Amino acid sequence: MFVVLTIALAGALSADAWAAPGDHVRVGDLSVAPRIEAGFTYRSNVYRQEVDPNGGGMLSLAPGVDLTLNSDHHDFKLGGTWELRKWIAVEQDADDALSASSLDRVDNFSVDLGAGLFKDRPVGFEIDNHLSLRSTTTDLDYADAPFTVQFREEFEGGLRMTPSSALEIKARGLASYDDYRVPVFNGEGFESYNARTAYGPKLSSRYLFLPRTAWTLGADVVWFDWRDNAPSLGDTGGTTTSAAAVLEKPDSTQIKFRTGIAGQVTEKVSVDLNAGYGVSSFKDAAAPPVGGLDGLLLGAQIRYALTEKNTVSLGYRRDFQDSWVANFIRYDYLYAQYAGRVGDFRPSVSYGVRFEEYQSSAAPRNDIVNRLGVGGDYVLTDWASLGAGLAWTQRASSVTERSYDDVEVNLKARFVY
């Protein structure tokens, strides 16, 4: 795949190519879209502290590029972003050991690679690969990858079969690797806390039983193997990480099954409804498994089109996931969001609340996470936009020191050639 893209790029240098701002660089079926985003972020609680929060501001510059090569038979894509970050001010007492220097020691990056081969045939092949380095501050983030520094490599690939125009079946395999690292207290660099590999088969299908509505079915089995089942950071006071205790990480197996319907039921209403069941088992008998009603999986989203360019969505999800801070996290997530466009302005509003249950014999806990976001982009031209956003995050935990409030203000400018 890299060879194909390289040949295509070489051809772009010698063939007649055309480009205009916002239209990307094009030659034949190849499109190259360079982009850059500059921004400023202020957070009221950089370290997610329960009391006496430290605020701080950060400048960021994120260049990137997206390459796509599409034909009647095959699709290829390759894209990446490199985010350079610099914290310019953090409020703290003179004797406070926390320092902003650990926050901009590592820049973020992500690289995505994908291909769809023989898409015009009854049997084709698809692959997707995601490589990233993601750094956060010293407590849990709102997303599914919560740690100070996480290196992640994730690959999915397999067969796509279309026996008829109404039926699509995908048989894929998953393989991923995560390395979690924490900053050294009053020192330089990071030290590895633990690493995890995950792998297993995935099967999914979509049957279009109405012109715009499909029946969906999915099942997967994932094995999680941790490098250290009882990781130790030595002197737990020697790091800035919030994981002060040694957490046992037993290897586990998760099996999940879902079925439902998805599609457009009227001109304005679209739905995605699914239900299923999941179980987990652990090599360590002391680890509590998922089973019974606790293994119930639910998902529901209703999307309503106010106008052609303005939509509102309501959703709910119940699931569980493997985690570095517990044997697993079970959660219920409710959300509502609006996204639209009014002239050259693209406003958005979102709210979500997540009820989390951390299952672990060493450090069980229950959290409620609220997040409210308001923002918008103003489209200056086809290739430039300005944006601003305001977000509030609150974590209320049964473990008091995990609770915090954080307000975030974002300003950004984006340019795409």
The pLDDT value recorded for residue 88 is 79
Which one, of 146, 77, 109, lies nearest residue 354 by Cα?
Answer: 146
Extract long-range pairs of 330-337: CB within 8 Å, 24+ residues apart. Answer: 330/290, 330/294, 330/356, 330/357, 330/359, 331/355, 331/356, 331/357, 336/312, 337/312, 337/313
Q: How far apart are CA 244 and CA 75, in angstroms?
A: 47
Q: Which residue has the higher pLDDT, 362 or 317?
A: 317
pLDDT tens, position by position, 157-192: 999 999 999 999 999 999 999 998 876 655 556 677
Kindly report the average pLDDT of the chain as a whole number.
84
Q: How far apart are CA 11 and CA 30, in angstroms?
A: 10
The pLDDT value recorded for residue 361 is 66
The pLDDT value recorded for residue 232 is 58
Q: Is a pLDDT exceeding 50 seen at residue 4? A: no
Residue tagged 């406003």 (tokens): 347
Task: For 308-342, list the strands marked E by DSSP.
Answer: 310-322, 328-340
Q: Is a pLDDT exceeding 50 seen at residue 7? A: no
Q: Which pLDDT band holds residue 16 (cuts at 50, 70, 90)?
A: low
Q: Which pLDDT band holds residue 29 (cuts at 50, 70, 90)?
A: confident
Q: How far apart are CA 176 and CA 195, in angstroms?
A: 11
The pLDDT value recorded for residue 138 is 55
The pLDDT value recorded for residue 54 is 80
Q: Are the beta carbons of 19 and 25 closer than 8 angstroms?
A: yes
| CATH number of the domain located at residue range(s) 2-416 in this protein | 2.40.160
Which of 148-157, 184-193, 305-314 holds the top average pLDDT?
305-314
Q: Which residue has the higher pLDDT, 31 or 18?
A: 31
The pLDDT value recorded for residue 11 is 47
Which one, of 367, 311, 298, 374, lies nearest residue 342 by Cα?
Answer: 311
The stretch 28-32 carries a mean pLDDT of 90
Q: Is a pLDDT exceeding 70 seen at residue 395? A: yes
The stretch 125-150 carries a mean pLDDT of 71
Q: Are the beta carbons of 402 and 367 closer than 8 angstroms?
A: yes
CA distances from 191 to 62, 197, 267, 280 (A): 26, 18, 54, 30
Q: Which pLDDT band holds residue 126 (cuts at 50, 70, 90)?
A: very high
Q: Are the beta carbons of 204 and 218 closer than 8 angstroms?
A: yes
Residue ranges of domains in the chain = 2-416
The pLDDT value recorded for residue 86 is 86
CA angle (344, 350, 356) in 5-degree steps: 155
Percent of the chain topping pLDDT 90: 59
The pLDDT value recorded for residue 234 is 46
Q: Are the beta carbons of 56 and 87 closer than 8 angstroms?
A: yes
Residue type, position 81, single letter: T
Q: Which of 124-138, 228-242, 275-289, 354-368 has the lowest mean pLDDT?
A: 228-242
The pLDDT value recorded for residue 349 is 98
Q: Is a pLDDT exceeding 80 seen at residue 104? A: no
Residue type, position 345, single letter: F
The pLDDT value recorded for residue 28 is 83
Q: Give me the phi and psi of 6, to 5 degrees please.
A: -65, -45
Q: Which of 11-25, 196-210, 241-255, 269-283 has the lowest mean pLDDT?
A: 11-25
Q: Are the beta carbons of 192 and 184 closer than 8 angstroms?
A: no
The pLDDT value recorded for residue 365 is 86
The pLDDT value recorded for residue 358 is 86
Q: Is a pLDDT exceeding 70 seen at residue 347? A: yes
Percent of the chain topping pLDDT 70: 79
The stretch 140-162 carries a mean pLDDT of 75
The pLDDT value recorded for residue 372 is 98
Q: Which pLDDT band holds residue 92 (cuts at 50, 70, 90)?
A: low
The pLDDT value recorded for residue 180 is 85
The pLDDT value recorded for residue 301 is 98
Tokens linked to 103: 């926050």
Q: Which of 37-41, 151-155, 247-251, 268-272 has the lowest mean pLDDT?
A: 247-251
The pLDDT value recorded for residue 134 is 86
Q: How far apart are CA 8 and CA 6, in angstroms?
A: 5
